[in-house]
Chain A
Amino acid sequence: MSAALVSDGVRRHPSVISGIGVVAPNGVGRERFWSACLRGEHGIRTLDRSLSPRYPLKVAGLVADAGPVPARLAVQTDRWTHLAFVACEEALADAGLQTDELDPARLSVILATASGGTEFGQREMQGLYTGGPRRVTVWQSIAWFYAASTGQLSIRHGAKGPSSAIAAEQAGAIQALGEARRQVGRADLVVISGGTDASLCPYGQVAQVSSGRISTAADPLSAFLPFDERSTGAVPGEGGAILVVERDAGARDRRVRPYATVAGICHTYGATDPCGRSLVEAMRGALADAALRPEDIDIIFADGSGVRNDDDAEATALAEVFADRIPTVALPKALFGRLYAGSATDLAAAALAIRDQQIPSAGQQLRPRPSTRLTVHTGPARPCRIEAVMVLARGYPGFTSVAILTRPSEARTS
């Protein structure tokens, strides 16, 4: 979305993030997640290899206990949707929303997903191959596909506004946020946005390992070190975040102070882009959309894939846009892995950083290569003036998205 394509509605009615729910490997629940990010607590753990002994992935960001899911929904949905249920309940409560009091036409669900219900799908395929067609349950028809979480949340909360599912790997949640912002600008909607993923079963691993970008390192604490000399690739994780997006005026009418204003968004695509041109264009597009200059950005939540060429391209792109004044880089995903719909957790962390005026830690193991010229914050959280945050995300094989969140007047405080 270039700045020129942003509608008048988006300009007249700024979108804000008014509710956040998080289910992440280093913390289930918004405040637990954020507290872990501030303290630099890891959520990457050793995988139970008995489930997939022949696959090279040894560690991943694992959600230990996401919390209860209604039994009827649990049998007919994938784990990825379970995580969305949990995060959504928290986000709606945080936004002070009772969905049964909303006009259904005013409530939308726009979620990102990268994998769909791979665990559920694998179980059904195993049933098919070992027991025949009658072993495939009716739930397979609704559990595996990309729009399943969007559909389930819309049914559960009675949402009948425009809803969709966006598959753009790591960039998906920023794209979902962009679409939410567009819908909020067009009509006075409340949008359940963000996204979750849970694709660590053997079937899910096959899809990821085939990209050649996954770390096969065994030490949970050092397997995922973006921008580091010792980097060996990306470590996948499960979880994500749900964000409630609505008009600033709507949140304030309920006496809810928003976390952040969605000030600028831009998407580009560059499947073969070793120099990071698509990222440069996306950053500049988002700055133009937000009517900000590079020097207005206080922190950058980097994409940090952990793949050396991509990390180099990202550092080069940042240097091109910010010259010799690249803001401090926040990289909390080094603590819990890439969550695929995972720019949702970056967006949640960025909004919480604005709320608390603190930069989260990337963990003390990370030591960025000097050649990247990046200052990644690796120590414990530190206070910092934060008015504008840029969130970068690149989804394999070329989705590139950048969001800028700014501090609203009368912002939420912790």
Chain B
Amino acid sequence: MSELPITTYKSIVIDCVGQIDDADFENAIAKRFRLSDLGFDSLALMALTTQLHDVVGVFIEPDDISLRITLTDLLAQVNGELAKAGAT
């Protein structure tokens, strides 16, 4: 996988914080919502990083990001790691 598909990203996020409809998810990306805006707490963050590792193969230490990170920036970070892995 060279880039995390947005639909997969959405399904991972939903697994961690419950139902989000398409419009809300697009809105959350477009408006640079933070994880805390979507109801993430420390356990949800741990669930998110675990799922990203399982599904995409990218492990991000929960301690290295905070609930203040936006969905957009997290996606960029994951895709950056995927690109690095693809380059090596």
User: Which residues does A use to contact B, with CB under 8 Å?
Assistant: 70-76, 134, 137-139, 141-142
A139 to B43, Cβ gap below 8 A?
yes
> Which residues of A sit under 8 angstroms from B17, Cβ to Cβ?
71-72, 75
Closest A residue to B48 by beta carbon equals: A138
A137 to B47, Cβ gap below 8 A?
yes
A73 to B41, CA, bound (A): 11
11 contacts between A and B (CB under 8 A): A70-B18, A71-B18, A71-B19, A72-B17, A72-B44, A75-B15, A134-B50, A134-B54, A138-B46, A138-B50, A141-B43
CB distance from A66 to the nearest CB of B (A): 16
A139 to B39, CA, bound (A): 15
> Which residues of B sit under 8 angstroms from A139, Cβ to Cβ?
43, 47
Question: At the interface, yes or no: B60 with Cβ under 8 Å from chain A?
Answer: no
A246 to B44, CA, bound (A): 34
B43 to A72, Cβ gap below 8 A?
no
CB distance from B3 to the nearest CB of A (A): 23
**Secondary structure call for the A interface:** helix
> Which residues of B sit under 8 angstroms from A72, Cβ to Cβ?
17-18, 38-39, 44
Closest B residue to A74 by beta carbon equals: B18
**Secondary structure call for the B interface:** helix
> Which residues of A sit under 8 angstroms from B47, Cβ to Cβ?
137-139
Question: At the interface, yes or no: B82 with Cβ under 8 Å from chain A?
Answer: no
Instruction: Rank and list the top 8 A-B pairs by shortest CB-CB distance, nearest first.
Output: A71-B18, A72-B39, A71-B19, A72-B18, A72-B17, A138-B47, A75-B18, A138-B46
> Which residues of B sit under 8 angstroms from A141, Cβ to Cβ?
43
Closest B residue to A155 by beta carbon equals: B41
> Which residues of B sit under 8 angstroms from A74, Cβ to Cβ?
18
CB distance from B40 to the nearest CB of A (A): 8
A75 to B46, CA, bound (A): 14
